[in-house]
Amino acid sequence: MILGVHVSGAGKVYQALDIAHALGCDTLQIFSRSPQAWRNGSQIAPEDIREFIVRRKKYKINPVFIHISYLINLASPDPRLYHGSIQAYIEDMREAEKLGADYIVTHMGSHKETSEDAGIKRLIEALNKILEQTKGSKVGILLENTSGSGSWLGYRFYHQHKIIKGVKEKSRLGLCLDTAHAYLAGYNLATKEGLENLIDEIDDLAGAKLIKLIHLNDAAGELGCHHDRHDHIGLGHIGMAGMKRIINHPKFKNIPMILETPKSTEDSDKENLALVRKLSRK
C-alpha cells in the first residue's frame, strides 16, 4: 500500500519531506504556498527547490501531490476572480514542475449560484487554457470530488464526466476520490453496497482507472449532509468496517492514499497511519 498524509506547509517546503519520512510515509501531499493567500509574486527559492528534490530522492517519497489554493475558483462567474484564478493556477503548475511534483489536486470550483452547467463550461474553458499554457509539463491535474456544500461542483460524478469530455488534453487529467466528501455528498460508503455503487458510478461516468489518488478520510457529518468535515479513521460515520473495506478494496490496491484527518494532537497523524496499516493487514 502507498500511504501518506497531508503535511503542513509551515517552514521550508523541503521540511515537509522530513515530517513524512519520520511518519514512515511512502507519499505525501502539501500546499506549495499558503492556501488562503494569493501568491503576489512570491516564489519558492531555487535552493529550497533543489533541497526538496534531494530529500525526496533520499527518502524515496513517491508520488508527490500538491493541493491547489482554496482561493482559486475556476468556475467563478466573476471575471476578475476567474481570470486571476487561471493565471494563479498556471503559476502553481509551473512551480510544481520545478519541484518535480506528480499531480496538482484541485476542487472543481463554485458556480456561485449561476448554474451547474455554466460553472462546468467555465471550468472546462479554464482547464483547456491551463493545459495549453503548460504544454509539455509532466504535472497532472486531479479533479477532487466535493461534499456538495453551497454551489460547489463535483459532488456527483456526472460533473467529472462532463469536464473530462470537454477537456482537449485528457492525458494529464485524472481523479482524486475523497472518501469523506463522497459520504457527505450522499454515497453510503459505510456499507459494502454503497461502496460498490460508488465505484460502478465512477467507472461508468469517468473510468475508475482515472483515480490516481484517494483522500482517505472518515466523515464527521451525517450521510448526505453536504457539510465538509473530516474525522479520524474509524471514528466517523463511515466507521471502522467501512474504512477497512475501502482500504482493502481490490480496485484501490495500487492507488496512493493520503490522510487529511484532523490533527487533534501531535500524535494524530501517527495514530491514524498506524490504524490504516493495521486495517490493511487484517
Q: Please report, for the domain that includes residue 149, its CATH number.
A: 3.20.20.150
Q: What is the predicted pLDDT for the residue at 65?
A: 98
Give the pLDDT mean for 111-133: 96
The per-residue pLDDT for 201 is 97
Residue 43 has pLDDT above 90, yes or no: no
pLDDT digits (tens, 9 = 90+) for 150-169: 999 999 999 999 999 999 99
Give the Cα separation of 74 and 163 in Å (integer): 12
Give me the chain's average pLDDT, please.
95
Closest CA to 195 of 241, 245, 161: 245
Count of domains forming the chain: 1
Q: Please say whether the beta carbons of 142 and 103 come within 8 A.
A: yes
Q: Give the residue numbers spanning the domain of 81.
A: 3-281
pLDDT at 38 over 80: no
Whether the CB-CB separation of 206 and 156 falls below 8 Å is answered with: no
Take residue 33 and report the three cell numbers written for it.
504556498
Task: Kindly state the DSSP code that residue 230 receives in the 8-state scheme.
Answer: E
**What is the pLDDT, as a whole number, of residue 41?**
67
CA 15 to each of CA 5, 59, 198, 256, 268: distance values in angstroms, whole numbers, following the listed order:
14, 12, 36, 21, 19
3-state secondary structure of 273: helix
Q: Using the predicted structure, report yes or no on whether residue 5 has a pLDDT greater than 90.
A: yes
